Structure formats: C-alpha cells, structure tokens
A and B are shown apart, each in its own frame.
Chain A
Amino acid sequence: MKKLNLPLTSKDVKELKAGDSVLLNGVILTARDCAHKRIKELMDRGEKLPFEIANAYIYYAGPCPAKPKMASGSCGPTTSARMDSFAPALLDAGLGGMIGKGEMSDEVRRAVARNGKVYFAAIGGAGALYAECIKKSRCIAFDDLLSEAVFKLEVENFPAVVAFDCRGGSIYD
C-alpha cells in the first residue's frame, strides 16, 4: 500500500486517484461540527484562526479520552457530510485536504478539484485501530468543546482511501 507524507506534494496529489488505498504519515487536525462553526465565525469576522489552515489536513473526528500511556483514545472518522457547508471555504483558504467518512456534496467535490486537493475516507467504526496510529495528540484550540475540540495528531501509517481526487473523481460514483 502506498505510504504518503503530509503535507502532500502536488506530484503526490496528481498521482492519487479515487479508490487508491494509502497510509498517511504526518500531522492532522481534528475538527467536527462545533469546531467548524467556530472556525467559520472567526473567518466571517476576518479574525485570525488559532491554527494555520494553509496546507493543514482536517480529520473529521472526536476522540475518546486517552488512557494512561496512550497518545489518544479511540479515534475513527465521523460522517463528513455534516461538514459539507464548511469545507469549500476552507479549501479555498488553502486547506490541504480532509479525512472523514462517507460521501460529501458535489459542491465539496468541485472545491477539492478546483483547489487540486484530496478528500480521504478513513474506515468508519475502526476507532481502536486508528488510536494505534496516533503517536502524539495535543489540544490546540477550543478546549471547552471537550471531544469536539481541535487536536493536533501525529499519525503513522493511518489507513485511508482516496474518496475525491484532484480531477473530480469519486469512489462513490
């Protein structure tokens, strides 16, 4: 299976096509419903975000608390479609890509292609397996949101499938 380092190079992105299985390595940021709402509010007001969006990879996920000696608790993907209304603006602002589960809207698909990015599908329900891929985890924003806060995760060999590629291809077609 193809191993990739994040952030992806434009060559990596061009070589990926919908349906390819990959192992991701590098830094990803968790954000789900409530965090997205706050990010949007900050962007709408033209305020600075508490983390850099350019070339970042957002993982639609809210982990379980970490047990002692583990970097993270179980941490599989949540349903991406709930973030449909947020993703295009983030992609246009330079987001590197997203990781989640399930189909996203056509508008998101066009935004992925327009910006030459990738949307990856992780395996929904494999929370324990994903916890083992997480080597470090640190809350970097919105800690009052508990599991919905933004966690910076360092992942190794994180299994995912290319869901939307940079040419507008989709595994769900």
Chain B
Amino acid sequence: MRTINTEEIEELIYKMALKAGVSLTDGAKAALYDAAEREEGGAAKFALKKLCENFELAERENMPVCQDTGMAVVLMNIGQNVHLEGKLLQTAVDDGVRRAYADGYFRKSVCDPLTRVNTGDNTPAALHTEIVAGDKIEITFMPKGFGSENMSRVYMLKPAQGTDGIIDAIAETVKIAGSRPCPPVICGVGIGGSFDTCTYLAKRALTRKTGSRNPRADIAEIEERALEKINALGIGCQGFHGNITALAVMCEWAPTHIAGLPVAVNIQCHCMRAQTEVL
C-alpha cells in the first residue's frame, strides 16, 4: 500500500492546468501544421495559418491559446494499492483548478445550469476516476471548450447498423455541427458499453495522441473511413470550405448489450489541450 496525500495531487493539477491553458498538445500542433500545408487555398488556408501563428504566440507569451479555457475535465486512473489521505479528492482537484485559473488569468466559465450564475473560480472540475492495478495515479487534465462540446451527440444504434452505421453517425455529427464548433475538429468516439460508458470512452479517446490509431484493426478502419467521409463534406476550417474538416477520428470501445450499439461522438475543436502526468 502506498500513501499519497491529496495535496500532492492538488499541486500537480495546478501545474498541469497552467500549462494546458497556454499550449496545444504536440499531436494537435503537428496536425495543424500539416493541415495548413495541405489545404488548397482560400479563406480556409488563411485561417489555418492564423491558427498556427496563434498557438505559437500563446506559448511564447504564456497566454491562453483560446479564451475558452474550458471546463476542467480530469481523468484519473488510480492504482488500487494507493491509499489517499488528506482533503477529499474532489476538493484537492478543485483547489488546484481554482488557483491555476486565477494565477493564469484564465476565463472562469462554469455556472449554475439554471440561474446561469458563474461560480467565479471555474470549479467544480468534471472528475472521472477509474480504479486500475498498481500503486500509481495517472492524471490527465483537459480543459474542454464548449463551442465544440455543444456539438457532441449520442446515438443508440441498432446492432444491424454495424460498422457503416457507426461511420454514418460520426460523419452526421460533424455535418450537423457545420461551421459552429471551430473546425477542423477532432472526434473522440466511444463505441459500445452503456449509454453512460460510451460517452466516457469518447472523452478518453480524445486524450490519445491526435491522429493515433486504435490497436484493434477493425476499429482503426472505422477511424480511417470516418475521417475520409468527414473530409469529403467540404466544410473546411471555420466553415470556409476546404478539404480538412477534421484532423483525426479516434475510437475507443467496450463490450455492449446484445440489443444495442451505443455510439458517442465527442467533438473537440482544433484547440486540443491536455496534460498527462503520473504520480
């Protein structure tokens, strides 16, 4: 049994949040440079080049890449031989978020769902925990903007719809979103599980290196075919028309019920920010 004080977690969350707000992941940077190169011209190419200038400037000047510094999504894999002591885990995470969003001059974007009154400090974070083997904690901090989150969808497909149905659902989600979620987008897709687990898997999928392939061949094929179908839509960067509407489609899967085929499509804009650390 290894004991970890949650103040260590708070400190790590603070550091990860500060870094995540001002820098894209290496995978997203590479995908944007590649897109700016490959796009054929017009307003979409102009916008892609500006997006590359933007993330370079943000990192250099230590300022938020996007003003939507997001809702703080925290994914934690906790080894079952870890014993946590100190303040409550959610409190530790929120304390780290609160300090980082104040010190980083980040926007506070969390509010009551009905009164719309802002909590003023970007808390609470959306904290997801999984219990895994071992005595370590792997923490991923992902600020999630809502221009793209709003365009996400869940489909409860019929088993008979199969692979083609999954690909259609992913492409339809991007088509309905159109110019609104800041394309080029990244699609995180959860396939299988239950109504709730497929949405979690979709979020998890986004944290993979942008453009990486699922090790399972038939899932990787869905990723490739869906990306091709999306990029044939012609929406382009910002909806200005072009060949690059998505930078990547990444799917995660879980066994599901014999009667169902849940598919969750979580849309992420090009501004993919995430930090992962192991304690």
Contacts and interface: CB of A to CB of B under 8 A. Distances in A.
| Most A-side CB within 10 Å, residue of B67, B68, B116, B150 | B67
A74 B118 contact: no
A150 B67 CA distance: 15
Given A74-B67, A121-B238, A146 B179 contact: no
B182 A148 contact: no
Nearest to B109: A147
Interface stretch (B91-99, B100-108, B133-141, B221-229): B100-108
A85 interface: no
A137 B256 CA distance: 53
Contact of B57 (A78, A121, A132): A132
A131 interface: yes
Interface string B39-73: 00011001100110111011001011111110000
Nearest to A33: B116
Contacts of A63: 67, 107
B107 A65 contact: yes
Interface of B, helix, strand, loop or mixed by DSSP: loop
A145 B118 contact: yes
| Most A-side CB within 10 Å, residue of B58, B105, B178 | B105
B61 A101 contact: no
A73 interface: yes
A12 to B, nearest CB: 19
A148 B179 contact: no
B179 A73 contact: no
Interface residues of B, number: 41
A94 interface: no
Contacts, number: 136
B183 to A, nearest CB: 9
| Most B-side CB within 10 Å, residue of A125, A128, A159 | A125
A101 B55 CA distance: 18
A124 B271 CA distance: 10
Nearest to A122: B238
A78 B66 contact: no
The size bracket of the interface on A is: 35 or more
Contacts of A145: 118
B47 A79 contact: no
Interface string B78-122: 000000000000000000000000000111110000001010100
Contacts of A101: 147, 179-180, 182, 238
B49 to A, nearest CB: 10
A125 B64 contact: no
A161 B120 CA distance: 33
Contacts of B181: 79, 102
Interface of A: 19, 21, 33-34, 61-67, 70, 73-76, 78-79, 81, 101-103, 121, 123-129, 131-132, 145-148, 159, 161, 171-172
